[in-house]
Amino acid sequence: GAVVSQHPSRVICKSGTSVKIECRSLDFQATTMFWYRQFPKKSLMLMATSNEGSKATYEQGVEKDKFLINHASLTLSTLTVTSAHPEDSSFYICSASPRDPQEDEQFFGPGTRLTVL
């Protein structure tokens, strides 16, 4: 099956620093990648949708200047949390959809646990 990786799996940083999370589709080309945030005991909340080569579309309430998303290639999307604060601590999950527009399935990465001190 299609595999999506995320790196790093865990990151701890100091308040005010920036953190970059990578999401890669390993064995398929992803025209669309999604970034989710998951709070403890909560559902996944869609943060943004990114299409290769174009600007990401952010969900209402998500600060695009704080959560920078780049989808530079068909296999890589990055999420940068800028000037991170403790309230940004969360579990961030990416997913990727294959090139075939008829395919509605998303393949999920294992997630990245961000802790901001």
Partner 1 sequence: AQSVTQPDIHITVSEGASLELRCNYSYGATPYLFWYVQSPGQGLQLLLKYFSGDTLVQGIKGFEAEFKRSQSSFNLRKPSVHWSDAAEYFCAVSGSARQLTFGSGTQLTVLP
Position of tokens 């997630």?
A: 111
Select from 7, 11, 20, 32 the one that contacts partner 1 (CB under 8 A): 32
On the CB side of 107, how many CA atoms lie within 13 Å of its CA?
21
User: Given the rule CB under 8 A, which of 14-22, 64-72, 74-82, 106-114 is the region that contacts partner 1?
Assistant: 106-114
Please state, in angstroms and rounded to a whole number, the distance separating the CA atoms of residues 29 and 87: 33
Select from 50, 75, 77, 97 the one that contacts partner 1 (CB under 8 A): 97
- In this structure, what token pair is assigned to residue 33? 């990648």
Residue 74 or 82 having the CB closest to partner 1:
74
- Contact between 64 and 86 (Cβ < 8 Å): no
Binding site for partner 1 (CB under 8 A): 4, 6, 32, 34, 41-44, 46, 49, 93, 95, 97, 104-111
